[in-house]
């Protein structure tokens, strides 16, 4: 039997290898357009982030290795351009020779996969715009980020690959914004309330997410520098397109094959409508295992299963491919997300009478170190109790919850079928009653009426607005709610009518259920438990300003919002201005943000950031999203490089250097570029244009001062009785000694005021440069920085020295101490010697990768 396989990677290579194992005498030929036939496509984002180090680790098999292992004839660089099912031939173009080649078959497998969608918008061909589908894409992206020292990334598309790309770009030190046309991230994968929780989580981790935001153009001259969206223009050094994929099936247009939106329609035996032509993988349209409806499942796992099943079928086995469930899992910063089966919307569209429960359950014994929670949304058919789907969020092994559901869905299980399953238990791994079983119990309680509740979606829609909120948590956490001590409830609640509408809220939902059970016994008729409690929901009592918890204060502080202790829930948010200079348009945006989200007042901080006053806690994320739409960000707190402060530089009559431009570059390289790097304490940088020291560079951790070093040509000096150079020197360092002007280099502050003042041109020459001060500090303890002995003459030297100072502070500083303390402890001469050499740069990668200063010392 002669089998021709078009395409490699997952489905094609899996089918080829299995065919040869089943029948070594079978003639199997695999042709593919690409040179790589088998690679880890799902690992590409992790190569970008550096978790996968080399290209070789991404390559599962080279063509030669695969051919040697399996006996399959592998022909790369062949692009299929025509299928003739009558003649049983495939025509392909050989890209090496340009010639057309013809291949015959007894059976043909289409495994051509899919390609990234690139919208027909301006700027798609600019340098710095990437897709993420092949190893070369990932290699090109990582190399570009490093070679250009990119600091700002925009990821277009909020699906799995887009979010994985965002996480890994952030891991490389970039500031990342995700934009998506849809109203939520992960559309049709997670239900809206689950996606909204993930969005809030990503934003808390510093990844901006702008949904309902269409891409309009990518801007730049030769190289990308911004992204134009429906909500405004976002600055960008690199763009990743993750909008979606389209099947590689254009060559089949005239073949007579049945296509649906570009996918090849197949039956449960993976047969197309053409004789002896089959399809598998990302180009094939299979069916949903639950509903039997057509479903496109472009996943590496599905492709492998389909390829293997197809090989078995061609080998004569009595097997079928029963369909896909849409199972998926994604790793995000500090949160994993998994799902399988139907979403609530899809289940209703399929005709099911859907009931759901959202619960928060322990992922292992609560007392075991590292224990966390699963946020579980479980779906079932109300009349039959048949399991329909699951969505799980949490820091731990969400995949095991999803995999249990996959087994149950595949076997048509009802919720009751899970009741007494003997799942593995030990404190490091699970709870005594498995978390999946707990979720099933909760949904069964809801179906039976034992639990009466509001889902988070119902709560967000306002269905609980007429209910009195009872706070049943272990500790009071909801401002304005009626506090209930669960342990003391042994009868009717004082002051609450038995027919009153009562919303029972705790941290997770469990204590709320216990209270409801007790209140029902005492005759209360209208109680509802809020599913997911305060863990999942943002609970507010109408008309009451909610006080914030210490955890919330800490969380938003890292985003640049400082708590106003005169209020229960208001913060002052710092808007970064890069170098103290912003445009008139940005001023308007900040003013509008202050009016819409804050008190309407804006103040200037000493670090030249703008601070929007009086922002309620619930307005923080909406305000950050609004600012992000206009390319602005909040921040400037924590044990990190702080925003750079700059004087007016060359716009001042005394300015010697362009401080705005230098400060902008320092901001991009060290505020944005080192944004994810923890230091022992805050690290402040100031740039002054001259020795007037308007922004006190010598009272910062590191200060840069513009210099103009005069050069005296003594042969031109006339020894004038009234020396103009001496007269103009503001600090009286220039003096006429023995008939010649002398400028003591150890005292001169290099202000340059004397240059060009001699009528005989004795002091016309000078060297422009930069003086760097280290170890300054202002505050409770004052330290004046000391100048390095060298006057630097290039900006590159200055930037390198700043980086070395930051690296030295991270490597040799003690958590909680300021750089001045580090310099004093190590000795100025020691520190200066290290900064004037390059050893610190050679240890950079090791230094930044080290788990140091995980809790820094900055308190403001």
CB 28 within 8 A of CB 75: no
Q: DSSP letters along 302-355, please?
A: HHHHHHHHHHHHHTT-------B---EEEEETTEEEEEEE--HHHHHHTT--EE
Strands 100-104 and 89-94: antiparallel
Select from 653, 758, 633, 649 the least CA-distant residue to 704: 649
Select from 351, 425, 430 the least CA-distant residue to 388: 351
Per DSSP, the three-state class of 731 is coil
Q: How many CB atoms lie within 10 A of CB 62?
A: 17
What's the rounded Cα separation, in Å, for the pair 162 and 186?
Answer: 9
CB 612 within 8 A of CB 593: yes
CB 594 within 8 A of CB 612: yes
What's the rounded Cα separation, in Å, for the pair 82 and 93?
Answer: 10
Select from 231, 203, 230, 228 the least CA-distant residue to 218: 228
For residues 320-351, one letter each, b for 16 or more C-beta atoms within 10 angstroms of the residue's C-beta and e for the rest, the string is: ebebbbbbbbbbbbebbbbbbbbbbebbeebe
CB 123 within 8 A of CB 220: yes
Could you tell me the maximum CA-CA distance found in the chain, to the nearest angstrom?
112
Give strand pairing partners of 80: 92
Give the tokens for residue 279. Answer: 């399809």
Name the catalytic one among 42, 652, 694, 720. 42
Tokens 């520190």 found at: 831
Give the tokens for residue 367. Answer: 């007392």
Select from 226, 74, 251, 76 the least CA-distant residue to 153: 226
What's the rounded Cα separation, in Å, for the pair 561 and 617?
Answer: 9
Tokens 């994604």 found at: 330
Helices (H), 355-453: 398-410, 435-448
- CA dist 639 → 174, 208, 523, 800, 857 (Å): 18, 21, 55, 21, 6
CA angle 205, 646, 730 (to 5 degrees): 160
Give strand pairing partners of 373: 362
The three-state DSSP-derived secondary structure of 658-711 is: CHHHHHHHHHHHHHHCCCCCCCCCCECEEEECCCCCCCCHHHCCEEEEEEEEEE
What's the rounded Cα separation, in Å, for the pair 743 and 737?
Answer: 10
User: Is position 42 annotated as part of the catalytic site?
Assistant: yes
Select from 703, 676, 672 the least CA-distant residue to 689: 703
CA angle 520, 521, 522 (to 5 degrees): 90
Helices (H), 576-670: 584-597, 620-628, 659-666
Q: Catalytic positions, please?
A: 42
């Amino acid at each position: 039997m002669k089998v021709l396989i078009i395409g490699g990677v997952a489905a094609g290579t899996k089918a080829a290898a299995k065919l040869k194992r089943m029948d070594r005498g079978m003639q199997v030929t695999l042709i593919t357009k690409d040179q790589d036939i088998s690679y880890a496509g799902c690992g590409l984002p992790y190569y970008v982030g550096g978790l996968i180090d080399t290209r070789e680790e991404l390559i599962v098999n080279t063509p030669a290795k695969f051919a040697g292992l399996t006996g399959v004839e592998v022909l790369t660089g062949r692009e299929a351009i025509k299928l003739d099912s009558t003649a049983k031939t495939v025509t392909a173009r050989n890209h090496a020779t340009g010639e057309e080649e013809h291949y015959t078959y007894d059976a043909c497998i289409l495994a051509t996969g899919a390609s990234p969608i690139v919208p027909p918008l301006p700027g798609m061909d600019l340098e710095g715009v990437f897709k993420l589908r092949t190893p070369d894409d990932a290699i090109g992206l990582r190399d570009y980020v490093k070679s250009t020292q990119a600091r700002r990334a925009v990821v277009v598309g909020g699906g799995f690959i887009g979010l994985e790309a965002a996480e890994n770009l952030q891991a490389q030190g970039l500031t990342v914004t995700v934009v998506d046309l849809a109203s939520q991230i992960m559309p049709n994968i997670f239900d809206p309330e689950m996606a909204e929780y993930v969005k809030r989580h990503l934003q808390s981790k510093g990844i901006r997410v702008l949904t309902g935001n269409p891409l309009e153009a990518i801007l730049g001259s030769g190289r990308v520098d911004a992204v134009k969206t429906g909500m405004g223009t976002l600055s960008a050094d690199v763009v990743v397109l993750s909008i979606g994929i389209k099947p590689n099936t254009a060559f089949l247009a005239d073949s007579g094959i049945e296509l649906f939106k570009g996918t090849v329609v197949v039956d449960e035996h993976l047969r197309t409508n053409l004789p002896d032509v089959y399809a598998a993988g990302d180009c094939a349209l299979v069916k949903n295992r639950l509903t039997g409806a057509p479903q496109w499942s472009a996943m590496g796992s599905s492709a492998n299963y389909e390829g293997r099943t197809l090989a078995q079928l061609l080998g004569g086995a009595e097997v079928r491919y029963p369909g896909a469930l849409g199972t998926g899992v994604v790793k995000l910063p500090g949160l994993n997300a998994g799902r399988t089966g139907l979403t609530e919307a899809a289940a209703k569209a399929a005709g099911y009478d859907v009931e759901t429960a959202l619960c928060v359950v322990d992922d292992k014994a609560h007392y075991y170190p590292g224990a966390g929670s699963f946020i579980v949304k479980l779906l079932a058919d109300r009349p039959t109790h048949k399991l329909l789907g699951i969505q799980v969020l949490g820091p731990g092994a969400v995949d095991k919850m999803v995999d249990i559901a996959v087994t149950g869905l595949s076997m048509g299980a009802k919720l009751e079928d899970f009741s007494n399953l003997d799942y593995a238990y030990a404190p490091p791994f699970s709870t005594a009653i498995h978390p999946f079983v707990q979720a099933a119990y909760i949904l069964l309680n809801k179906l039976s009426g034992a639990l009466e509740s509001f889902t988070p979606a119902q709560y967000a829609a306002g269905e609980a607005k007429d209910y009195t909120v009872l706070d049943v948590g272990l500790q009071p956490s909801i401002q304005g709610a009626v506090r209930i001590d669960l342990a003391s409830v042994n009868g009717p609640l004082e002051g609450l009518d038995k027919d009153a509408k009562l919303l029972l809220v705790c941290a997770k939902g469990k204590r709320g259920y216990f209270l409801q059970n007790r209140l029902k016994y005492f005759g209360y008729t209208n109680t509802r438990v809020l599913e997911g409690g305060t863990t999942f929901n943002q609970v507010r009592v109408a008309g009451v300003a909610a006080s914030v918890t210490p955890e919330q204060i800490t969380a938003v502080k890292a985003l640049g919002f400082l708590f106003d202790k005169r209020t229960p829930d208001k913060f002052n948010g710092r808007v970064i201005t890069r170098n103290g200079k912003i445009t008139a348009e940005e001023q308007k945006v900040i003013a509008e943000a202050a009016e819409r989200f804050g008190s309407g007042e804006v103040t200037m901080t000493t670090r030249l950031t703008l601070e929007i006053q009086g922002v309620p806690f619930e307005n923080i994320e909406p305000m950050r999203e609004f600012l992000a739409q206009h390319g602005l960000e909040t921040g400037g707190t924590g044990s990190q490089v702080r925003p750079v402060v700059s004087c007016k530089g060359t716009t001042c009559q005394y300015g010697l250097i362009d401080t705005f431009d230098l400060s902008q570059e320092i901001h991009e390289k060290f505020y944005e570029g080192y944004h994810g790097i923890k230091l022992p304490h805050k690290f402040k940088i100031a740039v002054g244009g001259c020795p007037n020291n308007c922004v006190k560079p010598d009272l910062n951790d590191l200060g840069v001062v513009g210099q103009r070093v005069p050069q005296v040509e003594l042969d031109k000096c006339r020894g004038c009785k009234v020396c103009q150079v001496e007269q103009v020197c503001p600090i009286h360092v220039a003096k006429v000694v023995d008939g010649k002007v002398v400028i003591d280099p150890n005292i001169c502050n290099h202000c340059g005021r004397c240059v060009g003042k001699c009528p005989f041109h004795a002091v016309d020459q000078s060297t422009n440069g930069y003086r760097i001060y280290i170890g300054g500090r202002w505050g409770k303890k004052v330290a004046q920085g000391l100048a390095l002995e060298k006057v630097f003459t290039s900006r590159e030297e200055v930037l390198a020295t700043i980086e070395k100072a930051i690296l030295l502070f991270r490597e040799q500083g003690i958590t909680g101490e300021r750089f001045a303390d580090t310099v004093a402890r190590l000795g100025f001469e020691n520190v200066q010697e290290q900064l004037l050499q390059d050893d610190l740069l050679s240890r950079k990668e090791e230094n930044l990768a080290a788990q140091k200063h995980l809790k820094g010392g900055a308190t403001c």
